[in-house]
A and B are shown apart, each in its own frame.
Chain A
Amino acid sequence: MDKFISRLLFLAACSSTAILALIALFIFKEGVPIMAKTGLGHFIFGREWFPLSGQFGIYAFIIGSLWVTFGALIFGVPLGVSCAIFLAEFAPRKWVGILKPAIELLAGIPSVVYGFLGVMWLAPLIRNHLGGPGLSILAASIVLAIMILPTIVSVSIDAIQAVPKNYKEGSLALGATTWQSTWRVILPAAKSGILAGVILGMGRAVGETMAVIMISGNATTIPHSPLDSVRTLTANIAIEMGYAIGDHREALFATGVVLFFFIMILNTVALRFARRKF
C-alpha cells in the first residue's frame, strides 16, 4: 500500500515537468512548420509582417520586446534592489510589516488594471509633456518596472538574507558604517542571487502581455526612440490570435516558439545564478 502511494506521489511530482514538455511539444508542433517554410533567418530577421500576403518577419517585435524589457530594467532594477536592501538591512520593523505586504500586493494587481492605468493616466501625461503618441516604449517600460518589482525584491531579499550574519558583524566590528558594510561586504556576497532576481524580472517583462498590449501602441515598425510606439512578441500573438487562421495562426505559434526560447534561456541562467553559493 505504501509503495503504491509513493508511486502515485512520484507521478504527481512529475506533472510539472510533463506539462512543461507538453507545452514545448504543442507550441513547436504548431509553430515550427511555418518557420521552416519561411526560413528561420527570414522569420527572425525579416522586417515585413504582412500576414495576409504571407510575409512573416518578426524582427520588429523582437526589437520591441528588447526595448520594453530593458526600459523596465532601467527603472525597475534600482528601485527593486533599493527596496530589497532597505527591507533586509535598514528598515525599522514596523516598516518591514508595511512594505513587504505592499510589494506582494503589487504582484497581485491584475496586469489589465496596470494597462488601464497606463492608458488613462500615464500615456496622456507622456503625450502632453514629452510628445509622441503617448502609448510608447516609455509608458510600457514604466508600467512594467512596477510589475516586475515584486519579483526582483523577493529574490534579492532572499539573496541578501542568505549572506552569513558574521560577514556583516565582522565588517561592523572593524568600524564600518551600516552602509559601508552593505555596499562593500553584503552586496558583493549576494551579487549572484540579486542577479538571479533581475533576470527573473527580465523574464516577467518579456512575457507580460495584456498590460503591454494596452500601453505600447502596437505599431509594427521598428522603433527609433523611447517615445515611439512598439509591438512586442507577446502582443503580436495576443492581438492577432483572435482572428488568425492557417499560416497566419502558425506564424503566431512560431512567435510563441521564439518567446519560449527567450524565456527558457533566461530561466536557466537565473537558476544557475540562484544556485551559486559564496
Chain B
Amino acid sequence: MRISPKITERIAKLFLWSAAIFTIGALIFVIGFVLAGGLTHISWSFLTEPILDMGREGGILPAIVGTIFMVFVAVGIAAPLGVASAIYLAEYTREGKVTQAIRFGINCLAGVPSIIFGLFGFILFVVMLGFGWSILSGGLSLAAMILPTIIRTAEEALRAVPASYRDVAASLGATRWQVVTKSVLPYALPGILTGVILGIGRSIEETAVVIFTAGSAVQMPTSIFDSARTMAVHFYILAREGISNDMAYATAAVLICTILIINVSAYTMMHRLTKGRRS
C-alpha cells in the first residue's frame, strides 16, 4: 500500500515537532529540577560564608573564589594564545600542508575527553613541574582544554571581517600587523569575546580536570599556588558522598544560574554582532 505524500509529510512534521518540543522540555526539566530544589536554600550568607563541616554547614564562598581564580588563570593563558593562533590562521598564512596539520591538531584537541586533560595536567603540572594540587595546575590544564574553542570562534570572527577593511588599511601603507591590530581586530572583537565567554563557561562546568589538578581544599585560596575547589567540584563532592542534599541542590542552583548568565551574554553578544552587520 502506498501512503500519500501529503500524509507522510504530516507524519514527518509531527515527528520533527515532537523531537523539538521534547528537547526544549528536557532543558526546562533539568533547569527547573535544580532550581526548584536549590533556590530556597540560597541566601546571602550561603554565598558569603566559608565551607564548614565539609559542606554540611556554612556557605560556598571559597568555592566561588576558587572558581574565579581558576577561570582567570585558564582564560588569561588560553585567550592570548588562542587569539594569536586564530590571527595566524586567518591573516598570516594561506591554506596548505602546514595549516592542515595545525587544524588537525586543533580538531583533535577539541575531541580529547576531559579526564585525559586531568591525567595530563596531573602528571605534568602537579607532579613533574612541582606545582602540586593548585589553582595554577588546574588553570593550566583548563587552558589546554578550552584553547580549541577560543581558536575556532576567533578565527570565524576574523574571517567574517570584510576584505575591504584590510585593503583600505593596506592601501594607506599600514604593515600587516597594523592592519590586523588597527582595522581587523576591533571589528572582530565581539566575536572573539563570545569565544572567550564560552571558554569561561566550559571552565566553570568542568569537574574531571579540576579535581585531579587543583585538588579539593575547602579553605579560602590566597594565592594561585593553593589548592582550591571550584563550585562544580564542591557540588560533585556534596552529591557523590551524600554529605548534604540541600547544600548540593543550592550549589547546583548557583552553578546553573552562573551558566545561564554566561550563555545569555555570549548569545546576545553574538546576536548584536550579526544584527549590527545587517544594517
Contact = CB atoms under 8 A, between A and B. Distances in A.
Interface of A: 1-2, 5-6, 8-10, 12-20, 22-23, 26-27, 30, 78-79, 82-83, 85-87, 90-91, 95, 98-99, 101-106, 108-117, 119-121, 146, 149, 176-180, 182-183, 200, 203, 206-210, 213-214, 234, 237-238, 241, 252-253, 256, 259-260, 263-264, 266-268, 270-271
Interface in B94-149: 101-102, 104-109, 111-120, 122-124, 144, 147-148
Nearest to A26: B123
Nearest to B78: A15
Given A10-B92, A116-B34, 20 more contacts: A9-B85, A12-B84, A13-B84, A13-B89, A20-B112, A27-B116, A27-B120, A82-B15, A86-B16, A87-B20, A98-B24, A110-B259, A177-B8, A183-B12, A207-B115, A238-B118, A259-B113, A267-B107, A267-B108, A270-B111
Contacts of A20: 105, 108-109, 112
Given A16-B85, A99-B20, A209 B115 contact: yes
A23 B112 CA distance: 10
Given A22-B124, A110-B232, A16 B109 contact: yes
B27 A260 contact: no
Contacts of B267: 101, 104
Nearest to B107: A271
Nearest to A14: B102
A214 B263 contact: no
Contact of A177 (B6, B15, B17, B30): B6
Given A10-B92, A27-B119, A109-B256, A178 B208 contact: no
Contacts of B151: 16
B228 interface: no
Contacts of B102: 13-14, 16-17
Contact of A86 (B19, B115, B144, B255): B19
A146 to B, nearest CB: 6
Interface residues of B, number: 78
Closest 6 CB pairs of A and B: A207-B113, A17-B105, A12-B84, A82-B19, A9-B88, A110-B205
Interface stretch (B68-76, B164-172, B234-242): B234-242
B225 interface: no
A118 to B, nearest CB: 11
B1 to A, nearest CB: 17
* Residue of B17, B119, B205 with most partner-chain A CB within 10 A: B119
B119 A256 contact: yes
Contacts of A112: 207, 232, 235-236, 239, 252
* Residue of B30, B116, B240 with most partner-chain A CB within 10 A: B116
Given A203-B111, A267-B107, A79 B263 contact: no
Contacts of B189: none
Contacts of A106: 23, 26-27, 30
B262 A108 contact: yes
Contacts of A207: 111-116
Nearest to A203: B111
10 contacts: A2-B175, A13-B89, A26-B123, A27-B119, A86-B16, A101-B267, A104-B263, A113-B34, A116-B239, A209-B208
B207 to A, nearest CB: 5
A110 B107 CA distance: 22
B260 A105 contact: yes
Contact of A113 (B84, B107, B255): B255
B124 to A, nearest CB: 6
Interface in B185-238: 201, 204-208, 211-212, 232, 235-236
B116 A259 contact: yes
B81 interface: yes
Contacts of A19: 105, 109, 144, 147
B130 to A, nearest CB: 15
Given A10-B88, A17-B105, A237 B115 contact: yes
B16 A85 contact: yes
B87 interface: yes
Contacts of A103: 23, 27
Nearest to B113: A207
A194 B236 CA distance: 34
